[in-house]
Structure 1
Amino acid sequence: MGEDRDEAWIGAGGDRACVAHRMDRRVLLSGLAAAGALVSTGLRAETFPTHEIKFICGFAAGGGADIVFRYLAQRVEKLAGKPVIVENKPGAGGHIATAMVANSKPNGYTISSGGGTGFAYLPFLYKTPAADPLKDFDYLGTVLKQSWYLVVDEKSPIRSISELTQHLKEKNGKGLYGTSTNIGTAFAEMYKVKAGVEAEQVTYKSIADAFGDLSSGKIDFLMVDPPFAIGGMQSGRMRALAVSTGRRIAATPDIPTMEEAGVPGIDLTVWWSLHVAAGTPLPIREQLAKWFNEVLSSEETRVFFAKIGSDVFLSTPEETRAYLVKDIENWREYVRVAKLPQT
């Protein structure tokens, strides 16, 4: 109604300069409000963090993921000047932690690096996913790439994939394998399909819980992450027969790929993303990314990752999102081949 009155006034020959002044004032006030918002965001970024940061790990303490989380947390803490606390939220293949980060306040104080591959299979393994990986998160970058290992007990007479395949065929479908992750399940089921064998899955809350069953012969083989595989080999507790990736791993150059071991068509590479809840202010995301990139770019980190069978993997937020989109399509095929059910 005020605008109509202004137009009538102008039409009647009123003071156009007065109206222009009024309009300029509106533009000025709008501009000041926007500038105030930017200044406010900038101040929050400059003073970030003002208290501890939570680093959410979707797997149990002491596991391979936990080892990496705590390594990164300790080093980012030194750069941030505030405590970086690792919170373990195991369960549902990392699903609980995913929901926790997605539903957190978008302020940069709740972060995780347990996505990547874990996000790529969400649409296919869960009827009601805890989050939409392309809508519910802002990405800071990537962390690492690694392989999963197929292992048997060191005391086992089985020394190759071909011998394991023959062993499982002789058990006529009564073989058992252990895993604690969706990645391990996918690897095992793809092996079963490609090799034409049967083995029933035994799921453990933590892969450490499976060692006793492997040693006693209750299960025939395990699918484990690099830290556990390498640690198990070094301690003389287990023997690795193959890796899930299409190339050998630098930390274990003597362990063949599945194709080299006689089972072609398997190339499952695991990677991690760094992410926060969608809507986190850009300056805060940039600050977090800067700290993590500094840690990940160091020679110390390269050496540490190599010891646990991983390679440093650095990318921009935009590259991370594009890599995720591509890997979602990869997992569509993995799930189809392995006939993994939705839960």
Structure 2
Amino acid sequence: MYRKAIAAVAAALLAWSAPLWSQARAEYPDRPIKIICTYAAGGGGDLMVRWYANGLRELIGKPVTVENKVGANGHLGNQTAMDARPDGYTMIITGASAWVGNPLLMKGIDYDPMTALAPVTTLNELGLILVVNPKLPIHSVADLTAFIKAKSGKALYGVQTSSALVATNLYLQKIGAEATRVAYKSAGDAAADTAAGLIDFYFPDATLAMAQAAQGRVRMLASTPAKRVSVAPDLPTMQEAGVPDFDYSVVWAAWFPTGTPEPIIHKMHDWLVQIVERPDTKKFLFEAGADQRPSSSPEEMAAVISREYGKWRQIVQAAKIEKE
């Protein structure tokens, strides 16, 4: 008798709670959504995240806040996202490079980029530009390749980010040559030393490269993505310049904590894609040196991240880059 009563109560509770769960999902979100930003307030990365946050706020008519978690090449923010409740109210928007690169390059960081967070959508991609000291007689990638090989490992290249490190090593592996790395804290410092002739080449982002080139401080040779970057349509790609199968860009994307309900993930995917595809977003990204790159589904984003991780792992292993 008691068992029947308990079973009846359990069934009633289940019948009562199921519609509430469905209703809660239908009403999502019913409170503010927080987006974690791994970049310092006021910088280019922060402005990018806030663009998407503002777009989401306008689209859904609900509060969306941005929380800056800066440090350890983005890992502080990444870890905050990994530790958050998987309820759809904490999301992270950041570059995929640090997400896939940190476990390969940094001591004490060991997570699987394929499972530690739940993919939502890719957003945009930011190409890098190969630049050289303008005083050198180098006017093409072929010229630079010959220069590097003639220097027998003594050509100097600047590295200001993990993305630049990987792009440079991909180039060196493709041409079968070696060069000497010089580490910098910022792309601006690397640009100054390139202009002064203290280093020979490096890979800054498109906006910085164009600004420095306009001042005659660097000479641009090629862009890193497979397609020409929209902000510099006359600049050849590395592939067009003679480096076969060279394709590299910094992909920006959004993730939820692992375990977030699939309906919420897909709903957020659709909202963010709407924002990415807006004409004003295209203009904003163009001015930032980036291009739109929304994924068709969270599953497609997962495939993109898998390829990125595989590419980084192959480059890091081939270059024998040690964790630091």
For residue 159 of structure 1, report the CA deviation from its aligned partner: 1.8
SS class of match (2:203): strand
C-alpha contact 1:146 1:311 (8 A) present in aligned 2: yes
Which residue of 198, 211, 215 corresponds with 1:218?
198
Which residue of 193, 199, 207 corresponds with 1:227?
207
Shift in CA distance, 194/261, structure 1 to aligned 2, threshold 3 Å: same
1:152-197 deviation per Cα after TM superposition (whole angstroms, max 9, x unaligned) = 2445443222322333344443332112222211111122233343
CA–CA separation in structure 2 for the residues paired with 1:332 and 1:116 = 14
CA–CA separation in structure 2 for the residues paired with 1:313 and 1:320 = 10
SS class of match (2:94): coil
CA–CA separation in structure 1 for the residues paired with 2:92 and 2:3 = 53
For residue 150 of structure 1, report the CA deviation from its aligned partner: 1.1
Q: Which has the larger radius of gyration?
A: 1
Residue in 1 that maps onto 2:9: 25
For residue 308 of structure 1, report the CA deviation from its aligned partner: 3.5
For residue 221 of structure 1, report the CA deviation from its aligned partner: 1.3
C-alpha contact 2:95 2:250 (8 A) present in aligned 1: no
For residue 127 of structure 1, report the CA deviation from its aligned partner: 5.6
Moved more, 195-204 or 285-294: 285-294
C-alpha contact 1:95 1:130 (8 A) present in aligned 2: no
CA–CA separation in structure 1 for the residues paired with 2:150 and 2:114 = 45
Unaligned residue ranges in structure 1 (runs of 5+):
1-5, 7-17
Do structure 1's residue 84 and structure 2's residue 68 form an aligned pair?
no
Do structure 1's residue 334 and structure 2's residue 318 form an aligned pair?
no
Shift in CA distance, 19/271, structure 1 to aligned 2, threshold 3 Å: closer
Residue in 2 that maps onto 1:125: 105
For residue 102 of structure 1, report the CA deviation from its aligned partner: 1.6
Shift in CA distance, 67/27, structure 1 to aligned 2, threshold 3 Å: closer
CA–CA separation in structure 2 for the residues paired with 1:323 and 1:210 = 30
For residue 298 of structure 1, report the CA deviation from its aligned partner: 0.4
For residue 22 of structure 1, report the CA deviation from its aligned partner: 5.3
SS class of match (1:340): coil
Please tell me the residue identity of whatever aligns with 2:13. L
CA–CA separation in structure 2 for the residues paired with 1:54 and 1:19 = 47
TM-score normalised by length of structure 1: 0.78
Residue in 2 that maps onto 1:47: 30
Do structure 1's residue 278 and structure 2's residue 258 form an aligned pair?
yes
CA–CA separation in structure 2 for the residues paired with 1:98 and 1:19 = 48
Do structure 1's residue 304 and structure 2's residue 284 form an aligned pair?
yes
Aligned pair count reads: 322
Residue in 2 that maps onto 1:160: 140
CA–CA separation in structure 1 for the residues paired with 2:183 and 2:306 = 28
SS class of match (2:37): strand
Shift in CA distance, 289/48, structure 1 to aligned 2, threshold 3 Å: farther
Moved more, 80-89 or 289-298: 80-89
TM-score normalised by length of structure 2: 0.82
CA–CA separation in structure 2 for the residues paired with 1:329 and 1:81 = 38
Aligned positions of 1:201-212 closer than 5 A: 201-212=181-192
Aligned positions of 1:1-343 closer than 5 A: 23-39=7-23, 45-49=28-32, 53-58=34-39, 62-63=43-44, 65-79=45-59, 80-82=61-63, 84-85=65-66, 87=68, 89-92=70-73, 94-126=74-106, 128-129=108-109, 131-281=111-261, 285=265, 288-315=268-295, 316-343=297-324
SS class of match (1:321): helix
Over the aligned positions, Cα root-mean-square deviation in angstroms equals 3.2
For residue 300 of structure 1, report the CA deviation from its aligned partner: 1.3
For residue 56 of structure 1, report the CA deviation from its aligned partner: 1.0
- Give the share of equivalent positions with the same residue, in percent: 30
CA–CA separation in structure 1 for the residues paired with 2:235 and 2:243 = 14
Residue in 2 that maps onto 1:13: none
C-alpha contact 1:41 1:281 (8 A) present in aligned 2: no
CA–CA separation in structure 2 for the residues paired with 1:22 and 1:170 = 83
Please tell me the residue identity of whatever aligns with 1:25. V
Moved more, 267-276 or 113-122: 113-122
CA–CA separation in structure 2 for the residues paired with 1:59 and 1:255 = 30
Shift in CA distance, 212/326, structure 1 to aligned 2, threshold 3 Å: closer
CA–CA separation in structure 1 for the residues paired with 2:316 and 2:125 = 20
For residue 284 of structure 1, report the CA deviation from its aligned partner: 5.2
